[in-house]
C-alpha cells in the first residue's frame, strides 16, 4: 500500500458529538491520544467530543484541537495495525496540521496548543455574525470568481475552497456572501447555501489573524517532515522549517487548493486516499476530482477492517 497510498486529514465541518466513539471502544489508542490533547489544553477534550454540548464542540478554538486529535488518533491506530506508512500526506485546511504532526514536522502537544490559538485568532479577526461562508454547487471556478467580484461592492467575498469540480466554497463579509449566493443562483448554480460556521476562513479578512499566527509559529519547533506533506496554499512539499511556517501563515487567508492537491497525488502515482478522521468528506471527493484515485475513510471498526482487508 505504501507506494500508492496517501493519507489525508479532514478539517472543520467533519466534527460531531460522539465521533470516533466506536473506534475508541475497540482501540484504547484513540482515548489516549485525546488525553494527551486534553493535557495540552487544560480541559477534557474527550468528554466534549463524546458528550458535547454540540455548540461548544463547534466553537472554532475547540473544534480545531478536537479535529487535530481525531486525525492523529486514527493515524496511530493504523500504525498499531502495521499499516505501512503512506507515500504522501495532505490535509484539508486545518487537516494540514494533522498531516504535519503525522509526518513528524510538528510535535502533537505543540500542534494542539497552536491550533487552539489559531482558532481564537480567527474568531478575533472577524467577530461572530460579521463573516460568513457559503457552498456553491454546479458552477465552474471562474464563474464563481466572477460572481464574487460582482457581489463584493467594496467588501470582501472570495472563492476560498476548491473542493471538487463544481463545488466551491466562498467566504467574506456576511452581506457580500449573501449577495454572492443570490448572484450564484441567478448564474445557474444548482445550489448555493450559507454554511453554519462562525469564521470566514481562507479569505482576506483573516490577514490580521495571519500576522499574529506568524508570531506564534516563530515560537514552535518545526522539523523537516519524514513523509512529504503537500501544502494547501501552493500544492507543494517543503523540507525547510521556515518555509513550512510561511505556508501555514499564508494558508489561513488564502484558498485551499484541494482539487489540485488530489490531482498532484494522482500524478505522483497515488491510487488510494485514506481519510483519517471522522466522516468521509475527502474520500467522497476523491473520485469526483480524479478517477485514478479511490477514497477510503477510516473512522470506526468497520472502515478500519476494510483498510486492513
Annotated catalytic residues are 93, 202
All three cell numbers of 208: 490580521
All three cell numbers of 149: 467580484
All three cell numbers of 197: 460556521
All three cell numbers of 156: 470582501
DSSP string, 158-171: EEEEEEETTEEEEE
Residue 92: name the closest of 163, 179, 21, 184 by CA: 163
Would you say 298 and 304 are in contact if contact means Cβ atoms under 8 Å apart? Answer: yes
What residues have CB less than 8 Å from 105, skipping those under 6 apart?
222, 223, 224, 225, 229, 241, 244
Residues 298 and 305: their CA atoms lie apart, in Å, by 9
Amino acid at each position: 500500500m505504501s507506494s500508492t497510498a496517501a493519507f489525508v486529514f479532514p478539517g472543520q465541518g467533519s466534527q460531531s458529538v460522539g465521533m470516533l466513539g466506536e473506534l475508541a471502544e475497540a482501540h484504547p489508542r484513540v482515548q489516549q491520544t485525546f488525553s494527551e490533547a486534553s493535557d495540552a489544553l487544560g480541559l477534557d477534550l474527550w468528554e466534549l467530543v463524546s458528550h458535547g454540548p454540540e455548540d461548544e464542540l463547534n466553537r472554532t478554538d475547540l473544534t480545531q484541537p478536537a479535529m487535530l486529535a481525531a486525525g492523529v488518533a486514527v493515524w496511530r491506530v493504523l500504525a498499531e495495525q502495521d499499516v505501512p506508512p503512506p507515500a504522501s500526506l495532505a490535509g484539508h485546511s486545518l487537516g494540514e496540521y494533522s498531516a504535519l504532526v503525522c509526518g513528524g514536522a510538528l510535535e502533537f502537544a505543540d500542534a494542539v496548543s497552536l491550533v487552539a490559538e489559531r482558532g481564537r485568532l480567527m474568531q478575533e479577526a472577524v467577530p461572530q455574525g460579521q463573516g460568513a461562508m457559503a457552498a456553491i454547487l454546479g458552477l465552474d471556478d471562474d464563474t464563481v470568481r466572477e460572481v464574487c467580484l460582482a457581489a463584493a461592492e467594496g467588501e470582501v467575498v472570495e472563492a476560498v475552497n476548491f473542493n471538487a469540480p463544481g463545488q466551491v466554497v466562498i467566504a467574506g463579509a456576511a452581506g457580500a456572501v449573501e449577495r454572492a449566493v443570490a448572484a450564484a443562483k441567478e448564474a445557474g448554480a444548482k445550489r448555493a447555501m450559507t454554511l453554519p460556521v462562525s469564521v470566514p476562513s481562507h479569505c482576506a479578512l483573516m490577514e490580521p489573524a495571519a500576522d499574529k499566527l506568524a508570531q506564534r509559529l516563530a515560537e514552535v519547533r518545526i522539523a523537516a517532515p519524514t513523509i512529504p506533506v503537500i501544502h494547501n496554499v501552493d500544492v507543494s512539499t517543503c523540507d525547510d522549517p521556515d518555509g513550512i511556517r510561511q505556508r501555514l501563515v499564508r494558508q489561513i487567508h488564502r484558498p485551499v487548493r484541494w482539487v489540485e492537491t488530489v490531482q498532484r497525488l494522482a500524478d505522483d502515482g497515488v491510487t488510494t486516499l485514506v481519510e483519517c478522521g471522522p466522516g468521509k468528506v475527502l474520500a467522497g471527493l476523491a473520485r469526483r476530482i480524479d478517477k485514478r484515485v479511490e477514497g477510503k475513510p477510516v473512522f470506526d471498526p468497520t472502515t478500519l477492517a476494510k483498510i486492513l482487508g
